[in-house]
Structure 1
Amino acid sequence: MKSFKMLTGLTLLALSAAEDLTKHVDVFMGTQSGGNDFPGAARPFGMVKLGPDLLHSGTDSYSGYLPNGKFSGFSLMHEQGTGGAPKYGTVSQLPLVGDITDPLSNITVSRSGTDAGSVGYYKAQTEDGVEVELSASARAGIYRYTFPSDVEKNILVDVSHVLPSFRGQGLGQNYEGGNLTIFADGHYEGLGTYNNGWNEAPDWTIYFCGYFDSDATSNKTYTATGAASSVEQSGGSVSSTSSSIRVGALFTFSDEEVISRVGISWISSTQACSNVNREIPEGMSFASVVNDAVSEWNEEVLSKVTTTNTNDTSLSLLYTSLYFMHLIPTNQTGENPGWESDEPYYQDIFTFWDLFRCSTALMQVLQPTTYEEQIRSLIDIWRHDGYLPDARSSNYNGRTQGGSNADNVLADAYVKGVRGSVNWEDGYKAMVKDAEVTPANSPVDPMAPDSSTHEGRGALPDWLNLGYITPTYSRAVSRAVEYAANDFGLYQVASGLGKHEDAAKYLNRSRNWRNHWNPEQTSLGFSGFVVPRNTTGFIETDPLNDSGYWGDPYYEASSWAYSWADVHDMRHLVDLMGGAETVVNRLDTMFTEGARGSSGIIFDSTNEPMFNIPYLYHYVGRQDLSVSQSRKVAKSDYSTGVSGLPGNSDAGAMQTWLLWNMIGLYPITGQSTFLIHSPWFESMTIDLGGNKKLEITSTGGDDNGDRDFYVQSLKVNGKAWEKNWLTWDDVFANGGTLEFELGSTALNWSTGELPPSPASE
């Protein structure tokens, strides 16, 4: 499915090889084996993500796409790379042939052949011989249908269409009603109301406005009760306020080629019409929309990182990763149905639990203007909804898996100098709300009914009153280590704002993860792990097998992972574990084959709680081991192709981990610290905005990071460097240079002070 070089029937604008970096993007990379990447047509942070919706054997299609199954529609709204349960799959069309008497009977159409795609373009063919081509602007989509000549040609607009969920967790989306009107000129407008999905959202409404650039020979509106036979309506308007009454329309054409242009809006169908007519006006060719998408991705995203490397595999990994990390959050500025504000508005945050460790830091590096807008948007959500989101979709906060990790994101932005139009006094108030006010447990999450998973910190009563979290609350250990990191974020911002009493309080609270440390808990000969506890003492666990889910003490990772979580207190953690030598042995054990018996190694690259772990050797002076372990993960667990990701992309989280490995740095969230490891390429330039650049060069290694990757020496901004870390101000604030000398031998080149451990002082 590596089809980024093909665009059948289109003639792209001439672009030089240096300019057209989209040729290195494989939109199908990571779409299978749990990666759930979205392969359809989209713009950076665009509201529209136009792609196929497939049904196959009760399998959840999280981004709409599956490699097999039948088409249930081609819809304009999708998330990128998520797990949990599907979201959106709304504002849909489906091409049908023949005499269609029952269009709203859950019709599906088989696929013919293999889908193809490239940046800004998607192509599929149905078993009926209809070729479907898709492209998108930010808030509108364009379909080009090519029908066989000898069939009746129809396009179904089904307002009730959503992506279903088959997991049985009560997270399936619901259609709650809608309307559709066909006007005298043939264009149609309407709305659909839906709810639920992974974030358990209440009702939300999306508006649409569609045009066909060919005259329909007929158009008819329909209603249907459930999946029962559709009833043709008289007149050009149909409406329902009931989930049991589906509405839609069927358009019939004589032309073999039919162009459909559709805009969406969260505000009104009038605004949806404005969006499509502004972005994809009548007469604009399909090829022009694709060309514009290619140009936008080149100019705004891919050109931010350039390299002299010529290896196809490395370039595909680099630029495909950059592509997928820019699909969400969604820039919905001017499209906020919740409140009027002059602030930017971004949503589809899926989720900060996945993104705070390294994704948001890279977004600041590559997109400083956009990132400032995203920070302002978070604070504005607090102003009007009452809490910062840990996740947000369909304009609704939820779900919170562990801590209030927007606090980490704000703290990271603050210490790295994000200012501009950010109101940091309000930002700090939003963080204090998370840290001090328990959110109402409404609605109750049946998978974790003890406290809110909607926003904030549901287990805050124990945290405030006891300094730890008892099993009264689900995910107690995960929450405790994350609440500690969240409080460290408050310490950082309070310190910067001169709120010294607050700073002292939150720094002290950031150490409370220690109250879950049981020095007597053992596993594989090592002592000391974070464990559940109650008011009478610690509760024994099995660190190799205690990974759980919503109702368990550890969420989606084991105590082997969560015991390393509070990097802001790393020096103290090293002491608790028994010193530097034991820490090295313990980290080595996590990467040792057979440590978990037939289950393999302890380290799990498929999920974010393990992201930091390969780099923690830095804190005991073994930068070389961080290099070897992280490079082994990058080269063995990531690859080109449809199964190229170790786990869910999670809005690009997996891709950003890989990108930092290529760059040769790793961010420590909530601090200005970057751990230095080893770059892949002989030359890489990162455009930092404002005429600033970071130039990274290396000599002595190969140009793909496969061998001879140990650092022998380093110069930062032309001066010899002895620390295994640097700060934002060193190379990002004003730009800079990193000059690596690499080789095959692990050397103890970093003889300077170890990375900061602020809570340990």
Structure 2
Amino acid sequence: MPPYQLLLSLVLASSHVLVNAADPSPVEDYDVLQYVDPLIGSANGGNVFPGATLPYGMAKAVADTDSESNQGGFAYEGGNVTGFSSMHDSGTGGSPSLGNFPLFPYAKCAGDEVNGCVYPKKQRKIKYKPDSVQAHPGYFAIELASGVRVDMTAAQHTSLFRFQFPNGSSPLILLDLTDLSDSRQDNATISVDESTGRMTGDARFTPSFGSGSYTLYFCADFESPALKRDSGIFVNSRASADVHDLKISRSINGYPLPGGGFVRFKSAPDNTILARVGVSFVSTKQACSHAESEIKDFNFNATHQAAIDQWTEKMRPIRVSRTGIDNSVLTNFFSGVYRTMVNPQDYTGENVLWSSNEPYFDSFYCLWDSFRSQIPFLTIFDPNAVIKMVRSLIDTQRHLGWLPDCRMSLCKGYTQGGSNADNILADVYLKGLRDGIDWDAGYAAVQKDAEEEPYDWSNEGRGGLRSWKNLHYIPVEDFDYEGFGTMTRSISRTLEYAYNDFAIAQMARGLNKTADAERYEKRSRNWRNLFKKDQTSLWKGNDTGFTGFFQPKYSNGTWGYQDPLACSNIDMSGRACSLQNTAGETFESSIWEYQFFVPHDMSTLITHLGGPTNFTNRLDHLHDTNITYIGNEPAFLTVFQYHYAGRPAKSTSRVRTYIPDYFSPTPAGLPGNDDSGAMGSFVAMAMMGLFPNPGQSVYLLTVPFFEAVSIDALSSILVV
């Protein structure tokens, strides 16, 4: 039995959480998919992807809307549908992601002319019928105001859309060479086969939270009882059935010139049209190969059932007792588990950047978010997938030189704090996962993060390492001539670098690298150098009653100042401590919240903050006055840190306040964007009564929401 499984089997019995494949399940078996609602978080800024996909699937089919929270494609907020596309991410902040090559259906064109249909995205958008929306694992359906009903399912790289048109239609379906955020660069192509209607092509886009660009390829085929009438291409607002090839290499005032293809059908008694769209980062040939092999016969029901079977198998290991439990509680829990497997995505075989036999995972949005609970949850629940993810991270470092901190669409994402892949590798190493992972290469990768500064540390690694090693903190207005990145976040980076070094030290101990372990353990105490013991915090002119907070410090050792409440949930000044804001010395959080981010040295922190009673009072003040924002990941651990002051019952009380008050099984049921399943994993682990302090062999136990939880995880570990 792997060490982490043995640990959990021994520790969790007291909380009625069993993680042991050798023991029979303490709860009855049942279909958990009935309790999964993909629409949770599809409104109010949850930004989830609610459409049809497989576990870690690349193809993600859904209706795209023009709503404010459409980062995942569809937002259940009463907006307009602009198309139906096959590539999405889930729960991201920032700009909408992917949404490439959307299809759009018309029942008929005005005047029965192809130019009677409207082609540009912003002009063609249409309302949908809110009551028609259905979402289940592997399935999504919606009806447009035009009477066209669309349902969809997916395979690994292929989407299958079923368009059902009203009687008397002469349907036209267009494919647009665009994406959700209109990021397409100048080059795009499409070719429409005049005899079959097959559309193939490609376009180059930019990522939503990173640098560089990527090229995506598509292959769309159509099948219908209705006969094909004609086909062609469109440019801007005009179409032609006489032209079947288009190459766009220009734009209008920097805005990509709209263009794409269409296929039109004759009216028939059954106006059902199936559209199969394969996608690939490699070539149109590979996109077509995916489509033909994964959904070879356009069988919608069989494809849908295959998706259900995969989700059923993925959810098989976990069951909870339903005794005395309302269905809404079960839906909240199992939907959280489900969302942990929507992102990241398995792009193995689609990586054109290097040649390798290792797995390749993408859509890590971002490791700053997912190290806290998502990957630790999957380490227990789906260790085989985590093994592949870690192998992918190590292989990325092997070929690109650095572990990623955020990654999407084969591009480098932006760093948000420290080098957070270090935390993930250390946590997985400590939990005993070994199969197929080159841990010597993994250690070399995390050590490089700690010792070498990349030129572009806004995308990878850590900046300011010269100051980190010599001054033992990151100074405000750091003089860093070795690399470039946003010269802010000096407090949060200091705290996060300290934690990164502690995580590396744990790996070093396990690998018998004693000298390294001692060096990084010493560096992990650098957080103390930014603690100003006489610093107070005012709120509305009044002293909050607490003394001692982190503060920025200049390279000459003198103190700077940042209001401890700046960028907190109750800061109404409009300040934002984000990558786009150049003034904040903390990232996406306040000093008031970051004062608790010393997860590896809690006893020393509690002493600095005045002892257990004062520490507990500070946590109470953080939560009771809404300084913290549970919709962002830095808040997660603070819910459970009462344990360290000897008050675990208060941790349980906080959990029961936040769930279901802030996490409920409704479209608006998430307090913030899901961040690729981070919110889902918080709900899942908190309701299990088991929350990680990652990078350590520590789980903080609270009273579960269920009489028993069974995770039969051992049988899911495969040697790959």
| TM-score bracket relative to the smaller structure | 0.7 to 0.9
SS at match of 2:712: strand
Within the alignment, does 1:623 sit opposite 2:655 as a pair?
no
Q: 1:72 aligns with which of 54, 71, 82?
A: 82
Give the Cα separation in 1 of the matches to 2:420 and 2:57: 24
AA partner of residue 288 (structure 1): A
Confirm or deny that 1:237 pairs with 2:245.
Answer: yes
Does the C-alpha gap of structure 1 residues 341 and 197 become closer, same or farther in structure 2, counting only changes over 3 Å?
closer
1:688 counterpart = 2:704: no
Q: Does 1:212 align with 2:233?
A: no
Matches of 1:245 and 1:85 in 2, distance apart? 20
1:339 to 354, 365, 368: 354
Alignment match of 1:590 (pick from 622, 639, 664): 622
Asked whether the equivalents of residues 326 and 652 of structure 1 are also in contact (C-alpha less than 8 Å), the reply is yes
Give the equivalent residue in structure 1 for 2:39.
28
Match of 2:13 in 1: none
Q: Is the alpha carbon distance of 1:677 and 1:145 closer, same or farther for their aligned partners in structure 2, counting shifts above 3 Å?
A: same
Q: Report the alpha carbon displacement of residue 220 of structure 1 after superposing the two structures with TM.
A: 3.1
1:564 paired residue among 596, 601, 610: 596
Greater displacement, 175-184 / 401-410: 175-184
Alignment of 1:327 with 2:342, yes or no, is yes
Offset from partner CA, 1:564-612 (integer Å, 9 cap, x none): 11110111111111111211121122222xx4xxxxx223211111110
Report the 3-state secondary structure (helix = DSSP H, G, I; strand = E; otherwise coil) of the residue aligned with 1:36: coil
Q: For 1:567, what is the secondary structure of its paired residue?
A: coil
Aligned residues with identical type, % of pairs = 34
Q: Please, which moves more after superposition, 610-619 or 107-116?
A: 107-116
1:204-603 maps to which residues of 2 (within 5 A)?
204-214=214-224, 217-224=228-235, 228-230=236-238, 232=240, 234-243=242-251, 244-254=256-266, 255=268, 256-282=271-297, 284-301=298-315, 303-309=317-323, 310-441=325-456, 452-472=457-477, 473-523=487-537, 524-534=544-554, 535-547=556-568, 548-550=577-579, 551=582, 552-592=584-624, 595=625, 601-603=626-628
Higher relative contact order (CA 8 A, sep 6+): 2
1:122 and 2:140 are equivalent in the alignment: yes
Alignment-mate amino acid for residue 381 of structure 1: T
2-structure distance, mates of 1:249, 1:216: 18
Q: Report if aligned partners of 2:135, 2:141 keep a CA contact under 8 Å in 1.
A: yes
Q: Which amino acid aligns with 2:545?
A: G
Q: What secondary structure sits across from 2:70 in the alignment?
A: coil
Task: Supply the RMSD in Å over aligned alpha carbons.
Answer: 1.9
Task: State the Cα deviation string for residues 367-409 of structure 1 (Å, max 9, x = none).
Answer: 1111101100000000111111111001112111111101000
Q: Is the 8 A contact 2:317 2:713 kept in 1?
A: no
Aligned partners of 2:231, 2:615: CA distance in 1, in Å? 70
Whether the aligned pair in 2 keeps the contact of 1:191 and 1:205 (CA below 8 Å) is no
CA distance in 1, matches of 2:145, 2:708: 47
Q: Is the 8 A contact 2:29 2:319 kept in 1?
A: no
Deviations 1:663-682 (A, max 9, x none): 11111110111111111111
Q: Is the Cα–Cα contact under 8 Å of residues 239 and 247 in structure 1 kept in the other structure?
A: no
SS in 2 for 1:504: helix
Counterpart of 2:334 in structure 1: which amino acid? Y
For the Cα contact (< 8 Å) 2:213–2:411, is it kept in 1?
no
| Alpha-carbon distance between aligned partners in 2 of 1:54 and 1:120, rounded to the nearest angstrom | 19
Contact 1:79–1:328 (8 Å) recurs in 2: yes
Instruction: Give the 5 Å matches for 1:134-149.
Output: 134-149=152-167
Separation in 1, partners of 2:163, 2:516: 61
The 2-side partners of 1:634 and 1:75 are apart by 33
User: Normalising by the residue count of structure 1, what TM-score does the alignment of the two structures yield?
Assistant: 0.82
Tell me the equivalent position of 1:152.
Answer: 170
* 2:302 alignment partner, SS class: helix
Q: Which deviates further from its counterpart, 622-631 or 191-200?
A: 191-200
Change (3 A) 1:174 1:248: closer
Deviations 1:637-679 (A, max 9, x none): 1111111111111111111111111111111110111111111
Contact preservation (8 Å) 2:81, 2:128: no
Q: What secondary structure, in the 3-state scheme, does the structure 2 residue paired with 1:40 have?
A: coil
Shift of 1:26: 1.4
Instruction: Please state whether the residue corresponding to 1:157 is helix, strand or coil.
Output: strand
Which TM-score applies when normalising by structure 2? 0.86
Secondary structure in 2 aligned to 1:42? coil
Shift of 1:419: 0.7
Aligned to 2:128: 112
* 1:546–1:155 Cα change, 3 Å: closer
The farther-off stretch of 262-271 and 454-463 is 454-463
Mapped partners of 1:201, 1:251: distance in 2 = 35
Contact 2:552 2:585 in 1 (8 A): yes
Q: Structure 1 residues 219, 20: CA separation in 2 closer, same or farther (over 3 Å shift)?
A: farther
Q: CA deviation at 1:152?
A: 2.3
Moved more, 452-461 or 270-279: 452-461
Q: Tell me if structure 2 keeps the 8 A contact 1:302–1:323.
A: no
Alignment pair present for 1:85 and 2:95? yes
**5+ unaligned residues in a row in structure 1: which ranges?**
1-16, 165-171, 442-451, 596-600, 693-761
> Counterpart of 1:196 in structure 2: which amino acid?
T
Task: State how far apart, in whole Å, the 1-side matches of 2:34 and 2:355 are.
Answer: 40
Whether the 8 Å CA contact 1:188–1:209 is kept in 2: the answer is yes
Kept after mapping to 2: 8 A contact 1:221/1:247:
no
Amino acid at match of 2:650: L
Deviation (angstroms), 1:111: 2.1
In the alignment, which residue of structure 2 is the partner of 1:661?
A: 686
1:163 and 2:180 matched? yes
Q: Which amino acid aligns with 1:647?
A: G
Task: Note the alpha carbon deviations across 1:203-249, whole angstroms, 9 max, x for none.
Answer: 2111111211126533433252xxx4335374532223445444411
Give the counterpart letter for 1:55 in structure 2. Answer: D
C-alpha displacement at 1:277, in angstroms? 1.3
Task: Say if 1:221 and 1:238, in contact at 8 Å, map to a contact too.
Answer: no
Shift of 1:103: 5.1
Question: 1:49 is matched with which residue: 60, 66, 69?
Answer: 60
Distance in 1 of aligned mates of 2:715 and 2:299? 35
Distance 1:361 1:262 in 2: 34
What displacement does 1:539 show? Answer: 1.7
Aligned residue identity for 1:539: G
Asked if 2 retains the 8 angstrom alpha-carbon contact of 1:357 and 1:668, the reply is yes
| Structure 1 letter corresponding to 2:475 | T
1:538-575 superposed Cα distances (whole Å, 9 cap, x missing partner)? 22222123442222111111111111111101111111
Task: Tell me: CA distance 1:431–1:637, structure 2 relative to 1, closer, same or farther (3 Å).
Answer: same
Q: Secondary structure at the match of 1:272?
A: helix
The CA distance in 2 between the partners of 1:302 and 1:613, in whole Å, is 31
CA distance, structure 2, for counterparts of residue 638 and residue 362 of structure 1: 18
Counterpart AA for 1:624? A
Give SS of 1:655's match. helix
Aligned to 1:729: none
Q: Contact 1:86/1:197 (CA < 8 Å) preserved in 2?
A: no
C-alpha deviation, 1:687, in angstroms: 1.4
SS of residue paired to 1:520: strand
Whole-angstrom distance in 2 between the partners of 1:636 and 1:269: 47
Alpha-carbon offset, residue 60 of structure 1:
5.0
